[in-house]
Amino acid sequence: MPTVFVLLALAGAALAQEPLPSQENVTDYAPSVNVECPDFSTTSLIREFTPQNQSLHPSEVEYVESRLNTTVKAAWNDWLGDGSVLGYNLSAFQDVFPKVGLAIPGGGLRAAQYGAGCLSGLDSRNESSKAAGTGGLLQVASYLSGLSGGSWVTGSLFFNDWPTISDLVYGNDGNLTGWKLDLPFVSPDGDDVFSTNNQYFYGSILWSVIAKAQAGIDTSITDPWARAISYHFLNQTSRDNFFNNDTAHGAGQLWSDIPQIPAWQQKLTPFPLLVTDSRPAGDNSTTALPPGPIVYEITPFEFASYDPNLSAGMNLSYAGTHLTNGKADNGSACVKGFDQAGFMMGTSASLFNQIFDFARNTLQGFDSDDSNTLIYILQRQLRSVSTRSDDVANWPNPFSGLKPDTFEDSDSNWLSLIDGASNGENVPYGPLFVQSRALDVIVTLEGSADDTNNWPNGTGPIATQSRLSTILLSSHQQFPPIPQTAADWVSTGVRQRATFFGCNPIQTPPEYPMVIYLPNAPPITGDNPVTNTGTFDLTYPLLHTQLFLDQVHFNTISGFTPNANTPDPNFGICLQCAAVDRARTKITPAVARSSMCSQCFQQYCYDPENPPSQSELPNRKLVFVDPTPQGLTKVEGFLGTNKFKLLGGVIGLVLFIALLCGGLFWWKKRRDKKMQYSQVHDFHDDRDTAGLWPRQSMGGAARYSDYHAEAYELPPAHPVERSYEPSFVAESFVADNRGPHSP
């Protein structure tokens, strides 16, 4: 019997059942529709501005400003003391300190764990960070931006009430449940996707998504993805309740509720910003996303863009409402509850239209037959679900009618939002460079995987520098000087050690912020690295997570010693020098840079006239060594053992998508045709259109390690091209998925 339909039947049966009353339930994922709108004659849900007269949401200004005078001021004093170790008299700065923002890029669970380990090294609550002098930078930060995997750690910190990283990731004896990364994202009960527990899991997820669809809001693959993210990064899922419906698993938790959390009320948290890109309606571009399309941000108050061509924001509580020229279709056509925390993180990580672009790091090295087969399967699954756009996050457009001369989606009813890294900017810098936020220092927790060993090589910062200096010239600050090519990031070594960019501006006030760059890099000790894992690793044994965080933590607090493999005992001081440096020019007369800090800057600053060299960083091991090889056995044998776990992540994801799309498709078809199935095998006829696995291979106890990609039917007349060069693949996928044309 085709077991896959058992799953679908379970999901369907659930809908038919009489719901039991319960306090929390996974259907809280559905937004409320037909909500009474505010009185548009006196209130507006839209805020418009111009690049020349840019403004921030007043509640953001109030929160950030009120922290500067209270908790942030206290944190600076706690971190730097009287400043004498740095060679300053801190009271000379008159409590006017630089405004600091942190950025956590994308890259799946690698990026999330890198961000976490790095934050722990900057957190004054961690004893070794405090002792090293690096712990404290987190507490002085006014902003924290996250994108994709970086949005998960950001959201997780807030929805767990801003705990220490150890408590957040591992859980504690109290109400923190930990990230549970040893439970695979897409098949948490192990690789038998038809096990009872896995079916419960898929059933609960589908129940949430179908509830949203029943409310009349278009769903997509981003929705089940958002729900899976919630099980790990929000606070309602423990090992004990993972496979039941005793909690809502984060359904009903809203991004706009962040200001209610205790740590926010105590002004302990920076202001969070998520980044998401857009694919303009009717865009037929044949390359990876160019820099043009609008980049959006999500704050606890607004869904907004400071890109000059839009320059507007919408009240986040009413996100999901379609507005034309700022007005709803009628007085009770508003939507609330669309800003589900998981969906906000899922939107920022909605990599499905770019999946192959995103996966270039992990698919590299596999022969083209295998990757083309995977690509084909995924395309086929997505096509089989016939909603508006299955591979993007579907957002009703609140900006319809606005700025028709410049806003590309002014005519569109929907926005297609996609992974925040889709335009090549993997570091969520955009919101931090917005002019009116006036940041002085931007700290990059750089966990991107650019090169073949999954280390960063400057690709993201180079893309941002270029977008800032062209499209965002009128609205954003500019990037300081950096090496201009990836090859230069490699040869100068700046991608393998803490580096400060923009130390020596010419103007007052400075023409760009200071950028403190803390890259994921091989251990300074010369040990084997365990932190350069693939973006599609969607499972980590607990031991790996622990070794990962400890390795990142150690590198973060250690700086580097030129031509050696030992920590720099002065790194904490040097980091303090960099963080506080811009304060010198904020007062008159300006304070001269101290000799201690000048000495630090000799070592850590990037000077384009006199660039450093990678040769100062000896014995760095670049190749990942798996610290828990036994954790991989599950996926071995899929396409040969030597292809190891990177492919496993992709397979898991593909299967997950297949299952959920299959389920959604089935539900839609059932709804449309009002079909009544009495027996499981009645579903057989759905096979072709549902596009699930070939029937022959579905009998018995199916495990995904039993499936052979070769068994999938390949498109006869329309072969996927023998290339997975990122731009091509992303484009062909998008194009294929948009029209009805079939292979």
Rama region for 37: left / alpha / beta (φ>0; ψ in -120 to 50; rest): beta
Q: Which of 107, 155, 184, 203 binds ligand NAG (CB under 6 A)?
A: 203
- The distance of closest approach from Cβ of residue 711 to ligand NAG in the complex, given in angstroms and rounded to an integer, is 28
In degrees, to the nearest 5, what angle opens at C-alpha 202 toward C-alphas 200 and 204?
A: 65
In the bound state with ligand NAG, the residue whose beta carbon lies nearer, of 81 and 694, is: 81
- The distance of closest approach from Cβ of residue 185 to ligand NAG in the complex, given in angstroms and rounded to an integer, is 18
- The distance of closest approach from Cβ of residue 688 to ligand NAG in the complex, given in angstroms and rounded to an integer, is 25
Of 20, 316, 13, 349, residue with least CA distance to 155:
349
Rounded CA-CA distance 534/110 in Å is 7
Q: Which of 36, 81, 216, 244 binds ligand NAG (CB under 6 A)?
A: 244
Query: Which part of the chain contacts ligand NAG (CB under 6 A), choosing from 548-556, 575-583, 593-601, 675-683?
Result: 548-556
Of 643, 631, 655, residue with least CA distance to 530:
631
Query: Which part of the chain contacts ligand NAG (CB under 6 A), choosing from 9-17, 499-507, 531-539, 706-714?
Result: 9-17
Task: Tell me the backbone φ, ψ of residue 395, rounded to 5 degrees.
Answer: -120, 125
Q: Which of 142, 148, 198, 236 binds ligand NAG (CB under 6 A)?
A: 236
Query: Which part of the chain contacts ligand NAG (CB under 6 A), choosing from 202-210, 212-220, 531-539, 691-699?
Result: 202-210
| Helix (H) or strand (E) run with residue 362 in it | helix 360-363
Name the maximum alpha-carbon separation found in the chain.
Answer: 83
Rounded CA-CA distance 413/416 in Å is 10
Q: Which residues contact 232 (CB under 8 A, 6 or more apart)?
A: 152, 179, 180, 181, 183, 185
Rounded CA-CA distance 650/648 in Å is 5
Rounded CA-CA distance 510/493 in Å is 26
Please report, as residue ranges, which positions from 34 to 63 form the binding site for ligand NAG (by CB under 6 A): 38, 43, 53, 55, 59
Q: Does 174 bind ligand NAG (CB under 6 A)?
A: yes
Query: Which part of the chain contacts ligand NAG (CB under 6 A), choosing from 16-24, 585-593, 663-671, 699-707?
Result: 16-24
Q: Does 587 bind ligand NAG (CB under 6 A)?
A: no
For ligand NAG, what does the binding mask look like between residues 492 and 531, x meaning CB under 6 A? Answer: ----------------------------------------
- The distance of closest approach from Cβ of residue 510 to ligand NAG in the complex, given in angstroms and rounded to an integer, is 21
Q: Which residues contact 676 (CB under 8 A, 6 or more apart)?
A: none
Provide the 3-class DSSP secondary structure of residue 453: coil
Cβ atoms 26, 251 nearer than 8 A: yes
For ligand NAG, what does the binding mask look like between residues 98 and 137, x meaning CB under 6 A? Answer: ----------------------x-----xxx---------
Q: What is the DSSP string of 401-437?
A: TSSTTT-TTTT-SEEEEE-TTTTS--S--HHHHBGGG
Rounded CA-CA distance 133/193 in Å is 47
Rounded CA-CA distance 534/548 in Å is 13
Please report, as residue ranges, which positions from 404 to 443 form the binding site for ligand NAG (by CB under 6 A): 405-406
How many residues of this chain interact with ligand NAG, rule: CB under 6 A? 63
Query: Which part of the chain contacts ligand NAG (CB under 6 A), choosing from 85-93, 566-574, 617-625, 660-668?
Result: 85-93
Rounded CA-CA distance 654/586 in Å is 53
Residue of closest CB approach to ligand NAG: 203
Q: Does 81 bind ligand NAG (CB under 6 A)?
A: no
Cβ of 369: how many Cβ atoms within 10 Å? 13
Give, as one character, the DSSP assignment of residue 685. G
Provide the 3-class DSSP secondary structure of residue 470: helix
Q: Which amino acid is at 50?
A: T
What beta strand segments (E) does 147-212 contain? none
Of 549, 432, 575, residue with least CA distance to 497:
575
Q: Does 340 bind ligand NAG (CB under 6 A)?
A: no
Cβ atoms 278, 415 nearer than 8 A: yes
Q: Which of 1, 92, 675, 711 binds ligand NAG (CB under 6 A)?
A: 92
Q: Does 317 bind ligand NAG (CB under 6 A)?
A: yes
Q: Which of 471, 518, 658, 664 binds ligand NAG (CB under 6 A)?
A: 471
Q: Which of 34, 69, 332, 723 binds ligand NAG (CB under 6 A)?
A: 69
Query: Between the CA of residue 12 and those of 84, 163, 172, 502, what are the distances in Å?
Result: 68, 39, 37, 58
Q: Does 166 bind ligand NAG (CB under 6 A)?
A: yes
Q: Which of 487, 590, 592, 711 binds ligand NAG (CB under 6 A)?
A: 487
Q: Which of 35, 85, 268, 486 binds ligand NAG (CB under 6 A)?
A: 486
Q: Does 22 bind ligand NAG (CB under 6 A)?
A: yes
Q: Which of 187, 198, 219, 253 binds ligand NAG (CB under 6 A)?
A: 253
Provide the 3-class DSSP secondary structure of residue 698: helix
Rounded CA-CA distance 523/736 in Å is 43
* Bridge partner list, 313: 47, 304
Q: Which of 48, 78, 161, 616 binds ligand NAG (CB under 6 A)?
A: 161
Q: Which of 79, 159, 306, 512 binds ligand NAG (CB under 6 A)?
A: 159
- Report how far Cα 601 is from the mean position of its chain's Cα atoms: 32
In the bound state with ligand NAG, the residue whose beta carbon lies nearer, of 333 and 486, is: 486
In 3-state terms the chain splits into helix, strand, coil percentages (rounded to 5) of 40, 10, 45
Provide the 3-class DSSP secondary structure of residue 35: strand
In the bound state with ligand NAG, the residue whose beta carbon lies nearer, of 10 and 111, is: 10
- The distance of closest approach from Cβ of residue 641 to ligand NAG in the complex, given in angstroms and rounded to an integer, is 26
In the bound state with ligand NAG, the residue whose beta carbon lies nearer, of 103 and 462, is: 462
Tokens 């959006």 appear where? Answer: 296
Q: Does 644 bind ligand NAG (CB under 6 A)?
A: no
For ligand NAG, what does the binding mask look like between residues 263 and 302, x meaning CB under 6 A? Answer: -------------------x-x-------x--------x-
In the bound state with ligand NAG, the residue whose beta carbon lies nearer, of 161 and 706, is: 161
Residues in touch with ligand NAG (CB under 6 A): 10-11, 14, 19-22, 25, 27, 38, 43, 53, 55, 59, 65-66, 69, 89, 91-92, 120, 126-128, 159-161, 164, 166, 174-175, 200, 203-204, 207, 235-236, 243-245, 253, 261-262, 282, 284, 292, 301, 309, 315, 317, 405-406, 450-451, 457, 459, 471, 486-487, 490, 549-550, 553
